[in-house]
Amino acid sequence: MSHEQHDAVEVITAKRDGGRLSDSQVDWVVDAYTRGAVADEQMSALAMAILLNGMEREEIARWTAAMIASGERMDFSSLSRPTADKHSTGGVGDKITLPLAPLVAACGVAVPQLSGRGLGHTGGTLDKLESIPGWRAGLSTEAMLRQLEDVGAVICAAGDGLAPADKKLYALRDVTGTVEAIPLIASSIMSKKIAEGTGSLVLDVKVGTGAFMKTPARARELAETMVALGTDAGVTTVALLTEMSTPLGLTAGNAIEVEESVEVLAGGGPADVVELTVALAREMLAAAGRTDVDPADRLADGSAMDCWRAMIGAQGGDPDAALPVARESHVVTAPADGVLTRLDAMAVGTAAWRLGAGRARKEDPVQAGAGVRWHARPGDAVRAGQPLMTLLTDEPARFDRALAALEGGYDVAPAGTAYEPGPLVIDRVG
């Protein structure tokens, strides 16, 4: 990395005027911002210029490398098996990491899954797992390596040492309307994943109303950018574009998503959750060079469940403990006889968030038992007055705003209306 001196205004105006930042400008501004020599208002101006004017592939690669260089890198080369990781761009009811990590581990590939917490309508994997009594998200690097060798899977919080530039910039993007910039999303995700040191990476890029990328074209652009970044950094990277206009499974929340994940590991669970878990597992195994095992067999024979129990236990959790249950519930009933033709992921995600399953600010607590359980999926026949959804929370005052979020969030069409579900996996990049 070069450390030629620049000044922030020069870098901002270069991008404001549609120019390409030089390698030394990128290196300098990321480093100076991490050190506090570039102010938040200057970085937010640059982030907005990037959102409006974009970045070229080499420029994004350099930006990503500078973010990685801001911190430490992990190394899993000492492990006796190859590593693969998965990253989802965030969805509703997206509990896939929970059954996926132990499933891939049961197939002989180690999964170092550094996960995050939820913000807004997208749930956080760590928040879900923390609903299990005793389970801890924080692990030292030594403990993480030991667990990867012994159990084969770990889901934990990323240490502060990985890409500290990203931690600062992420918080800034959140409050300045620059979250959606593809170069910034791609470099944020990939700087952490490359620094994490995984050998291969599968990206689950969500498309639809409940996703950051609302259209297949935008999702494909993001997927192609991230696959290029991973490939350029020597990480075998593929991406699946998957449907997120309808929430996944039958639950959105914390404890209730854990319960659904355990059903999948027991060989049951909702068909869409099983389909996506197995599809991503196959991609991870292929990327890690293990095509001799079929993950569907490991769900059937109980070995994925054994891995889950070992993974939860290794982090202090009790896999047999009863999960927290919300104190209050409210049932939403079907307005008429007919067919449920739409259940909007954003509406459900916002309702779960308002019920206490998510947070508005990073420091807010979440309720373990809160969330939304739906009793029908698009395509199902419903009768007037039958339960359509159950809202769960410890604080009944939250029901009104959750119900407001669900208004207009689902459609019941006359009986006999044809419903054609689209594919869950829309496309593959890589």
Per-residue pLDDT reduced to its tens digit, 261-307: 999 999 999 999 999 999 999 999 999 999 999 999 999 999 999 99
Instruction: Say if residue 120's pLDDT is above 80.
Output: no
Instruction: Say if residue 414's pLDDT is above 70.
Output: yes
Task: Tell me how far apart the alpha carbons of residues 163 and 69 are, in angstroms, rounded to a whole number.
Answer: 7
What is the average per-residue pLDDT within 64-81?
A: 95
Instruction: Say if residue 179's pLDDT is above 90.
Output: no
Residue 351: what pLDDT? 97
What is the average per-residue pLDDT within 94-100?
A: 97
> What letters, b where the CB count within 10 A reaches 16 and e where it falls short, cover 101-120?
bbbbbbbbbbbbbbbbbbbe
Instruction: Say if residue 5's pLDDT is above 90.
Output: no
CB contact at 8 A, 176 and 151: no
The total of other beta-carbon atoms located within 10 Å of residue 279's CB is 20
The total of other beta-carbon atoms located within 10 Å of residue 5's CB is 7
Output the CA–CA distances (angstroms, integers) from residue 378 to 250, 273, 302, 366, in the order listed. Answer: 11, 15, 30, 29
Residue type, 27: D
Residue 420: what pLDDT? 92
Residue 170: what pLDDT? 87
Residue 89 CB contacts under 8 Å (≥ 6 apart), including other chains: 185, 189, 203, 204, 205, 206, 211, 212, 213, 222
The total of other beta-carbon atoms located within 10 Å of residue 73's CB is 13
CB contact at 8 A, 321 and 133: yes
Task: Tell me how far apart the alpha carbons of residues 341 and 379 are, in angstroms, rounded to a whole number.
Answer: 6
Instruction: Say if residue 108's pLDDT is above 80.
Output: yes
Q: Cβ-count burial of 404 within 10 angstroms (0-12 exposed, 13-18 middle, 19+ buried)?
A: middle
Q: Which residues carry out catalysis?
A: 87, 166, 173, 188, 192
Task: Tell me how far apart the alpha carbons of residues 82 and 80 are, in angstroms, rounded to a whole number.
Answer: 7
CB contact at 8 A, 196 and 112: yes
CB contact at 8 A, 32 and 8: yes
Q: In the numeric block, which tokens belong to residue 118? A: 């939820």
Where helices occur in 80-181 by DSSP H, the ranges are 97-106, 125-129, 141-150, 164-176
% of the chain beyond a pLDDT of 70 = 99
Task: Tell me how far apart the alpha carbons of residues 146 and 294 are, in angstroms, rounded to a whole number.
Answer: 26
- pLDDT tens digits for range 10-41: 999 999 999 999 999 999 999 999 999 999 99
- pLDDT tens digits for range 237-260: 999 999 999 999 999 999 999 999
% of the chain beyond a pLDDT of 90 = 91
Helix (H, G, I), strand (E, B) or coil at 356: helix
Instruction: Say if residue 119's pLDDT is above 80.
Output: no
Residue type, 326: A
Task: Tell me how far apart the alpha carbons of residues 260 and 268 are, in angstroms, rounded to a whole number.
Answer: 9
What number of CA atoms fall less than 13 Å from residue 310's CA on the CB side?
20
Q: Residue 182: which H helix or E strand, with range?
A: helix 182-196
Instruction: Say if residue 117's pLDDT is above 90.
Output: no
Task: Tell me how far apart the alpha carbons of residues 5 and 23 are, in angstroms, rounded to a whole number.
Answer: 12
Nearest to 151 by CA among 372, 368, 310: 310
CB contact at 8 A, 18 and 52: no
Q: Could you tell me which residues are beta bridge partners of residue 25?
A: none
Instruction: Say if residue 404's pLDDT is above 70.
Output: yes
pLDDT band at 118 (very low <50, low <70, confident <90, very high): confident
Task: Tell me how far apart the alpha carbons of residues 217 and 297 are, in angstroms, rounded to a whole number.
Answer: 35
Q: Cβ-count burial of 425 within 10 angstroms (0-12 exposed, 13-18 middle, 19+ buried)?
A: middle
Looking at 16-30, 112-126, 191-205, 348-362, which range is the least confident one?
Answer: 112-126
Domains of the chain: 84-159+192-314 (3.40.1030.10), 328-413 (3.90.1170.30)
**CA Rg value for the chain:** 22
Q: In the numeric block, which tokens belong to residue 275? A: 């389909």
Q: Residue 258: which H helix or E strand, with range?
A: helix 255-265
Instruction: Say if residue 178's pLDDT is above 60.
Output: yes
